Amino acid sequence: MKGRLLIVDDERSIRFALDGLFRKEGYEVETAESGEQALDKVRAGMFHVIITDLSMKGISGLDLLRAVRELDPACAVLMITAYGTQRIAVEAMKAGAEDYLPKPFDNDELRIKVRNVMEKQLLRRAYNKLVEQVNLDSGRFAGMIAKSRAMMRVFETIDKVAPTDVTVLIRGESGTGKELVARAIHARSARANRSFVAVNCASFARELVESELFGHEKGAFTGAVARREGKFEAADGGTLFLDEIGDMSLETEAKLLRAIQEKRFERVGGNQPLAVDVRIIAATNQDLEAMVAGGRFREDLYYRIKVVELRIPPLRERPEDIAPLAMHFLEEACKSFGTARKSLSPEAMRSCVANPWRGNVRSLRAAIEQAVILSAGNEITAEELLGGVGEQIPPRPEYSAPSSDGTPAELKFREAKERFVAQWERDFIIGALKATGGNISRAAERAGMYRQSFQQKMRELGISVAELGLKPDDDSAA
């Protein structure tokens, strides 16, 4: 479905013209001759976009806009403004109109505008549906957003391992969501209402990692001025998440192995064994197998933590997740920064999905947050989204011939028109050449052009008779 559109104008000729224009575009179109009639239709069925005249008898465009915002906040409203109503147009924008177009409008401009808005609408509605689904099992997967088959399999594994006490090793590139998965396992386990304690094994010197894990007694080392409880104790009854487990020293690994196996340990500098009941989840983005082979990671610890292994694929291998994640982070960022609700331009969304996101979900999130703060308008452009984050802006997709009646939605009007015309010229010239078997003189004659101008056009458009697979006859060599 291309989308449902409602056209509201008290002028019959405009209703008629717009109805024809948008039906040809493939939308489902309805019209209303007054604000009252429009409201009845909105109550009776859903529309993605409403185009309404601003000044009408009875319910005005502005009143209609306000009523629609109540009835169906997700519906986008475009205002058509006649001369002298610009001031009200500003008011309409404040009241939540998507955009406005001064009368008399250019059909192409209106068509492209509607196409952009429609694209965003369909995306937003798809996203809202997804959020509803995700909210259904709210908390179940720590609020993770995902749509791809690959992540559904991750969720299935989480469901299977969560209720057991088995040790899980989570693997994946940086920023893929390893910690969220660990939290989801905890949240789905019988330990859910006890603590989830995370330790980053990479962030401290050896002594400090051990103190972090097991605690220490007063005076155990320089700076140990008081007894301190470690994360094993803090996690008693709950889950201990050992993040970046590949970054510990071999000595610490030995102590950790013993603590996991015997479920007991001593504080650093202490000799009284402490017993705890913790479930271990570990994560790493290192090649543990290579580390084991090279003697840089204990093999016994490796087998002990790798009882179940859960791999989170990088974002570029599950591009279906990118759009819903982007929409989610956009919504969150606008809320938390208190800015107006912003959206991604269709081109920004396409570039976003095509981007490799080497920093995975974390860098996607950072890029969106930065763009929300820095973007000039309410629509974030591809440059604003990808320009500042060191991620690459993929090249514009090659222009492909437009569908019989249109141009790609992401192009600005003038550019779109130029490309459209160029494509049309190509088709025309090639058509004429084919019809004459590659004879330029006759093709030019057929087209009502001078031979020279016809050849000039061919050069401009890079058309050669030989490349068309036509056998050039004598005159085309000129």
Ligand X SMILES: Nc1ncnc2c1ncn2[C@@H]1O[C@H](COP(=O)(O)OP(=O)(O)OP(=O)(O)O)[C@@H](O)[C@H]1O
Binding footprint of ligand X on the chain (CB under 6 A): 144-146, 172, 174-180, 285, 325, 361-362, 365
The alpha carbons of the chain give a radius of gyration, in whole angstroms, of 32
Closest by alpha carbon to 215, among 240, 189, 191, 192? 240
* Distance between CA atoms of residues 342 and 344, nearest Å: 7
Least distance from C-beta 183 to ligand X, angstroms? 8
Per-residue DSSP letter, 268: B
Q: Which stretch binds Mg ion (CB under 5 A): 63-71, 178-186, 208-216, 311-319?
A: 178-186
Least distance from C-beta 201 to ligand X, angstroms? 11
**Residue 280 contact, options ligand X, Mg ion, none, Cβ 5-8 Å cut-off depending on partner type:** none
Least distance from C-beta 145 to ligand X, angstroms? 4
**Residue 217 found at the interface with Mg ion (CB under 5 A):** no
Least distance from C-beta 211 to ligand X, angstroms? 22
**Residue 180 contact, options Mg ion, ligand X, none, Cβ 5-8 Å cut-off depending on partner type:** ligand X
Least distance from C-beta 365 to ligand X, angstroms? 5
Nearest residue (beta carbon) to Mg ion: 179
Contacts of 253 (CB under 8 A, 6+ apart): 297, 298, 301
Tell me the one-letter amino acid at 165: D
255 and 232 Cβ atoms separated by less than 8 Å: no
Nearest residue (beta carbon) to ligand X: 177
Q: Which stretch binds Mg ion (CB under 5 A): 40-48, 139-147, 172-180, 371-379?
A: 172-180
Which tokens is 74 given?
């997700």
| CB-nearer residue toward ligand X: 146 or 220 | 146
Least distance from C-beta 179 to ligand X, angstroms? 3
| CB-nearer residue toward ligand X: 178 or 186 | 178
| CB-nearer residue toward ligand X: 125 or 311 | 311
* Distance between CA atoms of residues 43 and 10, nearest Å: 19
* Phi (first) and psi of residue 81, to 5 degrees: -120, 130
What is the dihedral sign for C-alpha 318, 323, 324, 328? Answer: positive
Q: Tell me, letter by letter, the H, E, C secondary structure of 143-183.
A: CCCCCCHHHHHHHHHHHHHCCCCCCEEEECCCCCCHHHHHH
| CB-nearer residue toward Mg ion: 53 or 179 | 179
- Helices and strands per DSSP (H, E), number in the chain: 19, 16
Least distance from C-beta 200 to Mg ion, angstroms? 8
Query: Which of 179, 210, 253, 391 lies at the binding interface for Mg ion (CB under 5 A)?
Result: 179
Least distance from C-beta 191 to ligand X, angstroms? 19
**Residue 144 contact, options Mg ion, ligand X, none, Cβ 5-8 Å cut-off depending on partner type:** ligand X
| CB-nearer residue toward ligand X: 279 or 365 | 365
| CB-nearer residue toward ligand X: 175 or 438 | 175
181 and 224 Cβ atoms separated by less than 8 Å: no
**Residue 146 contact, options Mg ion, ligand X, none, Cβ 5-8 Å cut-off depending on partner type:** ligand X
| Residue 144 vs residues 183, 194, 291, 328, 364: alpha-carbon distances, Å | 10, 21, 31, 10, 14
Q: Which stretch binds Mg ion (CB under 5 A): 8-16, 37-45, 53-61, 177-185?
A: 177-185
| Residue 155 vs residues 82, 181, 236, 401, 459: alpha-carbon distances, Å | 54, 9, 26, 41, 57
Q: Which residues bind Mg ion (CB under 5 A)?
A: 179
